[in-house]
Amino acid sequence: KSPGDAIHIKEYEALLIRAKELTDKYKDLASGAILPSAVSPTASAGGGIGNLRSPNVHSGSVIEKADLVLGMAQDTDPKNLAVFCRSLRSVSTADVIIFTNEPIPARHLEIAKQSRVKLIGFDLSKVQPTSMQNYHPSTLRWPLFYNHFSENPSLMERYGRVWMIDVRDSYFQSDPFSFVTPQQQQQAHAATSSSSSSAVAGRNGRGAKLGSADSPNTDSGEIGFHVFTGVESFPIKECGWNSGWIKDCFGTGVLNSVGSKGIICSGVSAGTMSAALEYMRTMNDIIVGKDHSQGAKFPHCERNGVDQGVHNVLVHTGALGHLHVKQ
């Protein structure tokens, strides 16, 4: 292990304690009890999850587009799904789409119904190429996301902003889509860079704590893709997990070129829909073996966590357009 692997134990333990508190809070939902809705969203005519809207202002006119939270819940424990869905639903009326493997458990369906979440099932045995059937869910999600949106272009018109976030180990404390004008956003960042967190996500070497002022802003029609530094304060080369993912998938040369950079968490990112789709396409092309421009070695390097290796290479080599890195 490298020295960085043992850093921030106190912060990690604090996150575990908070996660336990939330699990206990929502255990009735996970075990089958019916809980009242925490948010009563105003839906346009016709109702349904696709009709929840947030106004975006473009050139003086109001264009109503929905916000979207997008995630993956393959073989996810219902308690974790309940924490994610109920904590989000208690602070936001955004549309939620979560991919999950079939057959979808009855408890997952019940939690989704109570929390107004759309589950999209997929048959793992039909995933192509067949090598991806053994991929870790954190890797597999990107081809699934990209295929879904590229095959359903109407979704590009429906959604204005999207958060892509881990489901298994995330919870929400405030609305991640809280609107702030560009001026307000600058003032908020000048005042604080870490207060009033809107979401917490964490895994080995992959944690991130996000501020509510970091919401992607589309009031002015700005295209943007937002990524977030992890809770780790050390560079990639000092973390055995992150340096290993990059070395195994891209080689020593690429690791040396980005090793002094900070760790960026792939478990959460956000942006306008067009920027998010471009990110999904780039991740998909590398993971399925279509793009070898960075020397990617998929499927041979695939294992739990390598999507963060890809994520960091894309961020630190300038491969992503309209990029904003949040501390």
Above 90 in pLDDT, residue 40?
no
Q: How far is CA 37 from CA 32, 41, 45, 108, 219, in A?
A: 15, 10, 20, 17, 29
Supply the pLDDT for residue 29.
54
In a 13 Å sphere around the CA of 24, the CA atoms on its Cβ side amount to: 6
Query: Residues 79-90: pLDDT tens digits?
Result: 999 999 999 999
In a 13 Å sphere around the CA of 65, the CA atoms on its Cβ side amount to: 23
- Domain boundaries of the chain, sorted by first residue: 3-32+63-326
Strand partners, 98: 71, 119
Check residues 215 and 320 and name the one with the higher pLDDT: 320
Supply the pLDDT for residue 201.
58
Supply the pLDDT for residue 325.
92
Above 60 in pLDDT, residue 21?
yes
What average pLDDT does the segment 125-145 reach?
96
CA distance 172 to 51: 22
Find where tokens 């991740």 sit: 283
Give the residue among 138, 144, 211, 207 at the shortest CA–CA distance from 178.
Answer: 211
Confidence band of 16 (pLDDT split at 50, 70, 90): low
Supply the pLDDT for residue 292.
81
Supply the pLDDT for residue 233.
83
Answer whether 246's CB lies under 8 Å from 208's CB: no
**% of the chain beyond a pLDDT of 70:** 67
Supply the pLDDT for residue 68.
97
Helix ranges, the chain (H) = 9-25, 27-31, 78-89, 106-114, 137-151, 154-158, 182-191, 240-250, 252-258, 273-287, 306-316
Supply the pLDDT for residue 31.
56
Supply the pLDDT for residue 12.
52
CA distance 163 to 276: 9
Reduced to 3 states (helix: H, G, I; strand: E, B; else coil), residue 297 is: coil
Above 60 in pLDDT, residue 54?
no
Domain 3-32+63-326 sits in CATH 3.40.50.11810? no
Which residues lie below 8 Å from residue 277, measured CB to CB, with a gap of 6+?
146, 149, 150, 156
Confidence band of 20 (pLDDT split at 50, 70, 90): low
Q: 155 is written with which tokens?
A: 């979704």
**% of the chain beyond a pLDDT of 90:** 61
Supply the pLDDT for residue 44.
25
Cβ neighbours around 183 below 10 Å, total = 8
Supply the pLDDT for residue 230.
77
CA distance 318 to 322: 10
Query: Residues 199-242: pLDDT tens digits?
Result: 555 554 555 555 433 444 433 446 799 999 877 789 999 999 99
Check residues 99 and 3 and name the one with the higher pLDDT: 99
Lowest mean pLDDT among 16-25, 208-217, 256-265: 208-217
Confidence band of 177 (pLDDT split at 50, 70, 90): confident
Q: What is the mean pLDDT of the chain?
A: 78
Confidence band of 295 (pLDDT split at 50, 70, 90): confident
Find where tokens 């990524």 sit: 227
Lowest mean pLDDT among 15-19, 69-73, 228-232: 15-19
Torsion angle in degrees (nearest 10) through CA of 190, 191, 197, 201 = 40
Which residues lie below 8 Å from residue 183, measured CB to CB, with a gap of 6+?
none
Q: Using N-to-C axis directions, what is the helix angle for 9-25 and 78-89, rounded to 10°?
A: 90
